[in-house]
Amino acid sequence: MDLAAFIGIVLGVIVVIYSIISGGFPEVYISIPSIILTVGGGIASTLVSYRLKEIGQILKVTAQAFSRKEVNLQDTIRLLVSLSQKARREGLLALESEQENIEDDFIKRSLQLIVDGVEPEMIKESLDLELDNMALRHERGQELFRTMAALFPAWGMIGTLIGLINLLKSMDDPSKIGSAMALALITTLYGAILAHFICNPIATKLAIKSREEIQQKEMIIEGILSIQAGENPRIMEHKLKTFLSAEQRAEYERTTNENLYRHTERGSMSRVITE
């Protein structure tokens, strides 16, 4: 699970529980009918808004919001540079043997298009189309949680209105007004918590991860087209580094220099041993 998400959930729960307990009347905040109305009503409206099959597919994508897997642009650049160097030395057909060692399916499919001799314009069009459809799938997942973020407070307000109606019925008994008013407002609280503690944060998390993945795939497309065009690996590397932030670029340069130093040092030791 993503560490930031875990810390946020734990911290949020602690803050809510502390606020409830510090008020001195924690039992007032627990109402099973209000929970059923707010949660059940929000889910019911969501089911009306989306197809059941579509909700199942979206929820699978939602797991990415809590995944620890991060997009590493630096490693992607190193892989593309390595593939470019191999293609320059041995030709484009040599890339076919590299597909077995690559985990990224998008890169695999891109390399297969190169090996098959597909024209650059067709490769770009095909990969851009795949990227656009991926972005649309991600947006549907975000829209689901934004829809739920709007529906839960709405059902909370419905519960409040129902509670106020019951409150008006008990106006002749002043002793019941306080508890009835608290019960009327509790559904609005439930709706606000569900919207702003769960649904909206998940939608935002999905949007961030989607932008990162789209950026990575745009970089891959640029690298694949450069490999097919036979560009110098150093020139391609310079182009791909423009996708990195200043911090990422500094880290990339540092790790690359460290790897180069280790490689050079090992080569020097090998010569010493041979001599």
Rg (CA), the chain: 28
Residue 206 neighbours by CB under 8 Å, 6+ apart: 61, 62, 64, 65, 138, 141, 142, 145
CA angle (221 as vertex; 106, 247 as ends), nearest 5: 100
Cα separation, 132 vs 124, in Å, equals 12
pLDDT along the chain (275 residues), means of 10: 80 89 80 90 92 80 69 90 91 86 89 90 93 90 92 93 82 71 85 93 90 92 92 91 90 79 49 41
Domain ranges of the chain: 31-244
pLDDT at 21: 86
Note whether 82 and 256 are within 8 A (CB). no
* Residue 61 in tokens: 């994508």
